[in-house]
A = this chain, B = another copy of it.
Amino acid sequence: MTLAEDRVGLRDQLQIGRRELSARFHASPPRTIGAGELLTAGIKSSATICHLVAGWACQGRDFSNGHLAILDIYLPGDVIGLDSVLRTRALSNVLTLTSIAIEVINAKDATLDELMTCRSTALYIAWLLGQRQQRADRLLGALSSLDARGRLATMLLDFFKRLSRRGLVTGSTYNLPLKQAQIGAYLGLTVAHVNRVLRSLRDERIANVEKHAVTIFDVEGLMRLAGDGQVMAATGNHAA
């Protein structure tokens, strides 16, 4: 069976691609953008790829009724703009949640077209796209199947997992720079209800969210609410 060998080789390829891309990002000078601004504010060309070095950002979508939905949330270490680089409107609707630091690969220097010439990089980019898809799928499942408590639980667990994976959290506490209105836009709830549910989670000693600080008391309780059940135990995720 060559499958095991292939997967090992694949993992190596991904590591190489990761370093390739990382080098490309380092080539350009980093920039900083203030909180609550559009990502395009600090970038001239729209066909760019961003590496979020520090801070949080999010992908928004405006509806004609004026309501703003948040489709994805980017954490330190994430790459932004891959999915939209092949479409006309790139990085529009990405806005910062905190002040951030980014590295960019400019369209003039290297388009996605050029990046794809290297197999390892192409693989790594495909992997990154898959990661973003996975996040969307998880959120999609939560929105379509869970009530407000379940959605909040899913969100709190997801951020915790993503931050942990990158060593950005120790213990059961982390920083969540989202206003309750933004949490609502992300989970499809109103501010008032987000507030109510957070209170109930606090009263039941499951998790505490206040002043941009999350503390998880009962991980299993959250997992139960999120409907994750036995899935977590099965998937040993060794993601980078």
Binding site for B on A (CB under 8 A): 2-3, 6, 9-10, 13-14, 45, 47, 59, 61, 63-65, 67, 69-72, 82-89, 107-108, 111-113, 116-117, 119, 122-123, 125-127, 129-130, 132-134, 136-137, 139-141, 143-146, 185-188, 224, 227-231, 235
- Contact present for A126 and B116 (CB under 8 Å): yes
Q: Which residues on B sit within 8 Å (CB–CB) of A228?
A: 64
Q: Which residues on B sit within 8 Å (CB–CB) of A83?
A: 129-130, 133-134
Interface centre among A65, A83, A127, A231 (most CB of B within 10 A): A83
23 residue pairs from A and B, CB less than 8 Å apart: A2-B108, A3-B47, A3-B107, A10-B86, A13-B113, A14-B86, A64-B231, A67-B145, A83-B133, A84-B130, A86-B123, A86-B130, A87-B130, A112-B123, A119-B122, A122-B122, A122-B126, A132-B133, A136-B137, A143-B143, A143-B144, A144-B185, A144-B188
Q: Which residues on B sit within 8 Å (CB–CB) of A187?
A: 144
Q: Which residues on B sit within 8 Å (CB–CB) of A111?
A: 6, 10
Q: Which residues on B sit within 8 Å (CB–CB) of A129?
A: 83, 126, 129-130, 133
Q: How far is the CA of A215 from the CA of B1 in the complex (A)?
A: 51
Q: How far is the CA of A125 from the CA of B126 in the complex (A)?
A: 8
- Contact present for B13 and A137 (CB under 8 Å): no
Q: How far is the CA of A31 from the CA of B227 in the complex (A)?
A: 35
- Contact present for A113 and B117 (CB under 8 Å): no
Q: Which residues on B sit within 8 Å (CB–CB) of A108?
A: 2
Q: How many copies does the complex hold?
A: 2
Q: Which residues on B sit within 8 Å (CB–CB) of A145?
A: 63, 67, 69, 188
- Give chain B nearest CB distance to A148 CB in angstroms: 12
| 7 additional A-B residue pairs with CB within 8 Å, beyond A9-B113, A82-B130 | A61-B141, A86-B127, A87-B134, A116-B126, A119-B122, A143-B188, A144-B185
- Contact present for A116 and B107 (CB under 8 Å): no
- Give chain B nearest CB distance to A171 CB in angstroms: 27
- Give chain B nearest CB distance to A125 CB in angstroms: 6
Q: Which residues on B sit within 8 Å (CB–CB) of A139?
A: 140
- Give chain B nearest CB distance to A175 CB in angstroms: 24
- Contact present for B143 and A140 (CB under 8 Å): yes
Q: How far is the CA of A136 from the CA of B45 in the complex (A)?
A: 26
Q: Which residues on B sit within 8 Å (CB–CB) of A14?
A: 86
